[in-house]
Structure 1
C-alpha cells in the first residue's frame, strides 16, 4: 500500500470532480476546480514541485475567467465548443516548449526543484490546455493527454502515488471529454 495525506486525498477528489465536469462540458467545473487548485498548490509546494505551484495559481485565475467565459463569453451567451486552425495550435505548442525550456533552466539554476524541466513541461502544456479549455477549443483534450502522460511518472517519483493514480484516471477522462466535445461540436455544426 502507499502512503497518502488527507491534503492529497481531498485535493485529488476535488480536482477529479472538476475534471469530470469539464468533460461533461459543465460550467460547474470552474468553481469546483478552485478548491482543488488551492489544495494542490499547498501539496506541490511541500513536494518541491514549484512549477506545479505556479500552475495551480494560474489555474485559480483562469478558473474565474473560464467560469465567466463559459457562461457569458459569447455575446452575452454561452461560448460554443469550437475547433482551431492547425497553425494556431502549432504556434502555441512551439511557444509552450520554448517557455518550458526557459523556466526549467531558471528552476534548475536557482531553486532546489525536483525534475525542473519535466515539471516545467507539465506547467507550460497545462497552461496551453487550460487556455484552450477556457476558450472551449476542442484541442484542449490532446494537450491534457500530454500533461497527464508526463505527470504520472513525475508524481510517482515524488511519492505522490494517489495523485499519479488520479492522473491516470484523468488520462482516461481525456478520451471521454474528447468524445463528448466532438459530439457537441457536431451538434453545433448541424445547427449552423
Structure 2
C-alpha cells in the first residue's frame, strides 16, 4: 500500500457488519487508534498523549477535507494548536523549583465563568449553527484555493441536531482547553460529550462511531476517577 493510497478514505481496511454495514478506511482506523491512545494516556496524566493527539487530529483533518466537512476540518486545526500548547504547558516549569502543572479542581470563580461562557456559546451556536459552519467552511475553502486546490464553494445541508451538535462542539473546545491546564473538570465534560455522541451517532445509524464513543466514554469516566484521586492527593500534599 502506497503512502498516497493510505490517506484515501476509499481505501477500505475492514467492512464492519453493523447496521447497514460500514467500510472503515485505513486512515480512519489508524486515526481512531491514535485518538484512543491519546485519551487513555491523558487519563493517566502522561504527556505523550499529546503526540498521539497531534497524529489523530492530523489524520482526521485529512478525512474531513476529503468528505468536504470544512467546519470540522477547521475544528481539527484548533485541536492541533491546543495539543501543541498542552504539550508545552504540561512540561513547562511553573516556578523556580522546576515544578510543573498539578492536577486540580477549578476555583469557584473560574468554574462559574466557564459555565456561563459555555452556555452562551451553546445558545449562540444553536441559533446560528448552519451559517456559522458555512462561514467556517468557506474560510477553509478560500484559504485552500489560494494554493490552487480549486475546491468548489461548499454546500452544507441543515444540521440534523443543532442543539446537541452545538453542545458537542462548544464543550469539546472547552474540555480541550481545561485539559491543557490539568483541571479535573475536563473529564466531566468529556463524559457528557461522549454520552451525547453515542446517542447522536446511534440515532443517525452510524453504529461504528457510536461504539467508538462508547469506548471513549469508558476511558473518560476512568480519567475522571483517576484525576479526582490525584487532585485530592495533590491538595493534601500542599496543605
Q: Which residue of 2 aligns with 1:183?
A: 229
Q: TM-score, normalised by structure 2?
A: 0.71
Task: Give the drift of 1:159.
Answer: 5.3
Q: Which residue of 2 aligns with 1:114?
A: 159
Distance 1:113 1:9, change over 3 A: farther
d(CA) in 2 for partners of 1:172 and 1:51? 27
Distance 1:114 1:39, change over 3 A: farther
Aligned to 1:41, the other structure's residue is in SS state helix
* Greater C-alpha radius of gyration: 2
Q: Which residue of 1 aligns with 2:193?
A: 147
Does structure 1 residue 52 correspond to structure 2 residue 98? no
User: What CA RMSD, in Å, does the superposition of the two structures yield over aligned residues?
Assistant: 2.3
Distance 1:171 1:47, change over 3 A: farther
Aligned mate of 1:66, from 86, 94, 103: 86
Equivalent residues of 1:8, 1:163 under 8 A apart: no
Q: TM-score, normalised by structure 1?
A: 0.87
Q: Greater helix share, 1 or 2?
A: 1
Task: Give the drift of 1:13.
Answer: 0.6
* Greater RCO, 1 or 2 (C-alpha within 8 Å, sep 6+): 1
d(CA) in 2 for partners of 1:46 and 1:154? 22
Deviation larger for 76-85 or 38-47: 38-47
Aligned mate of 2:209, from 160, 163, 168: 163
